[in-house]
Structure 1
Amino acid sequence: MLKQQYVVDTKTMILLAEYTDLKHGGKPMLGKSGVQTIKAGWTNDKPTAPGTN
């Protein structure tokens, strides 16, 4: 069974977090469930490729 929930700032319509709960036979599947938080916003920094910082 897969259960997902999303947290959205309804004023700005920006996704803030995603919660995933995955179970098989009623038992949690380790490494497949968790919370992912998302940070979004404006910046004056120049973009860089991932892993080059």
Structure 2
Amino acid sequence: MIGEHSWRKSSRSQNGANCVEVMGTLDQVRDSKNTTTSLCCDVSALVQAVRYGLLDR
């Protein structure tokens, strides 16, 4: 079981790939290569925005 305050990465991520990790509380994301900083955000809203193409250029 993943703890609420642990970081997780997609099971599809490959070693050395550009990936983000998500906090178990779904309120932070961070770069898997730079784990010293994180971005506070509503991860659920971010996923919805990506899903519906709201962040497409």
**TM-score w.r.t. structure 2 length?**
0.27
Which gives a bigger RCO, structure 1 or 2 (Cα 8 Å, sep 6+)?
1
**TM-score w.r.t. structure 1 length?**
0.28
Larger radius of gyration: 1
More helix by share: 2
More strand by share: 1
